[in-house]
Amino acid sequence: MAHRSYCAENPRTLSNERLEFLGDAVLGLVVTDHIYGVYPELPEGQLAKVRASVVNSAALAEVAADLLVGEALLLGKGEAASGGSLKPSILADAMEALLGATYLDGGWDAARDLVLRLLGDRILEAAAGPGGQDHKTRLQELASSRFGRLPSYTVVDEGPDHAKRFVATVVLEGRRWAGAEGRSKKQAEQAAAREAWSALSAELAGAEKQDEGEACRGA
């Protein structure tokens, strides 16, 4: 990947800037589409906060540093000498270029898989919020208060190492919620917990309304 400082010294080489432009748009749409579908309970303002906590230069730079993206960058002599391969702004731009290239090469599915594999856990943490609860915690508290026991999880992985997916099953009170997928074990368990929590919450709310109706008729 060629940084513009390298292209200034090597005019025949194209820089990453067009790919950065595309990757920025792909990243924003993938994260927006994902959180809109996965968190139907969050209002617009909270969705925007979750997206902003992930779609930013600091988050991208951290991911790029973990992947050693800087080692693959072509930099101009001056930029290289000043430690450009470690600069957060350059790493974030390079990460956007990588996402743009992934979209061009593999399409939407490939780009979505890459974004969620790299940023999925950050999205989970952002959606829980400061002092907030994730879906596993919510299900655990519901199970403990209503049934006096905790849910159990099993997770299996599928697919090749470069595109591995995890499928989780949660069991509680003899019932199973299976087939929840994620790009990591943590994401899959959270997805399974969300399905179980949503189903149980709806059932319990319905049962309470029915009890209230019968009580009113009895009175």
Q: Which residues are catalytic?
A: 24, 96
Tell me if 20 is assigned to a ligand binding site.
yes
What is the rounded distance in angstroms from the CA atom of residue 28 to the CA atom of residue 155?
29
b/e string for 75-113 if b means 16 or more Cβ within 10 A?
Answer: bbeebeeeebbebeebbbbbbbbbbbbbbeeeeeeebbb
The tokens of 140 are what?
A: 């655990």
Tell me if 211 is assigned to a ligand binding site.
no
**Could you tell me the end-to-end alpha-carbon distance of the chain, in angstroms, rounded to an integer?**
75
Distances (CA, A) of 66 to 70, 119, 135, 137: 10, 12, 27, 28
The tokens of 166 are what?
A: 């995890």
Tell me if 33 is assigned to a ligand binding site.
no
Closest by Cα among 172, 164, 218 to 188 = 164
What is the rounded distance in angstroms from the CA atom of residue 94 to the CA atom of residue 5?
13
Question: Which positions make up the binding site for Mg(2+)?
Answer: 20, 93, 96
Question: Which positions make up the binding site?
Answer: 20, 93, 96
